[in-house]
Amino acid sequence: MCGRFAVTLPTDAMAQLFDAQPANDLPSVPNYNVCPTNQIHTVLSDGARRLTAMRWGFIPHWYKKPNDGPLLINARAETIAEKPAFRAACRERRCLIPCTGFYEWTKDEDGNRLPWYITRADGDPLVFAGVWQDWGPEAERMRTCAIVTIGANDQMSQIHHRMPVTLEQTDWAKWLGEDGHGAAKLMQPAPEGALAFHRVSTQVNSNRASGAQLIEPVAP
């Protein structure tokens, strides 16, 4: 599961990191509380890499309107090749979704939601595996995407039973389809110890919250 994340890397730094041409309509950064249906930074390849904005929330082609069915922010790696919503996209339309870190929640004995912030242990940006889909008539065309998730590794299972599929730089070309076949083999949990996490303020429980204080550690 991945339902909220933060992006703090400047747009020009992202373009340089991915060797991608940036679009003119990219969302503002930093954003410490990226929520479903927001426009997010993504990287796709159509002969050249492009840093472009997409709606986080994949819309299958048969939806008559964006809210015609469930909000598809995640795609399960175990079934992505079979589900009608995602099977064509996982073969033909894969993207990278960069972020600084993401949030997950546990509950205390009283049922209160306690947020955690998860990053790479080495401090580098996280890069999620994603799939995308254009939706809507030509005049209203919307580019939409979902984050691919997998069962959590032992470390992450302390917080949640699912985790995003994260990609190393050496795997980006394979996931984007630039380096032949074999992308399915990349849909694995992160290695143990690759991620780090800490408790953060319950402010982030609100999708209206903003600011750098959302990722600051608080006492468990």
Residues of the chain with pLDDT under 70: none
* pLDDT at residue 2, as a whole number: 86
The answer for residues whose C-beta is within 8 angstroms of residue 73's C-beta and 6 or more apart is 2, 3, 36, 56, 57, 58, 146, 147
**How many helices and strands, by DSSP H and E, does the chain display?**
3, 13
88-110 tens-digit pLDDT: 999 999 999 999 999 999 999 99
* pLDDT at residue 218, as a whole number: 95
| Distance in angstroms (rounded) separating the CA atoms of residues 94 and 108 | 37
| Distance in angstroms (rounded) separating the CA atoms of residues 144 and 73 | 9
Cα separation of the two ends of the chain:
22
DSSP labels, 32-47? EEE-TTSEEEEEEESS
Q: Which of 90, 99, 104, 145 is catalytic?
A: 104
2 catalytic? Reply is yes
Q: Indicate the pTM of the whole model.
A: 0.97
Q: Tell me the two tokens of residue 203.
A: 């402010």
Beta strand 49-56 with 21-22: parallel, antiparallel or unpaired? Answer: parallel
Question: Is residue 136 classed exposed, middle or buried when 0-12, 13-18 and 19+ CB atoms within 10 A define those classes?
Answer: middle
| Distance in angstroms (rounded) separating the CA atoms of residues 131 and 148 | 7
* pLDDT at residue 138, as a whole number: 83
* pLDDT at residue 154, as a whole number: 97
- Assess contact for 53 and 42: CB atoms under 8 A: yes
Q: Which of 2, 90, 95, 99 is catalytic?
A: 2
104 catalytic? Reply is yes
* pLDDT at residue 219, as a whole number: 87
Q: Which domains, ranges and CATH numbers included, belong to the chain?
A: 5-215 (3.90.1680.10)
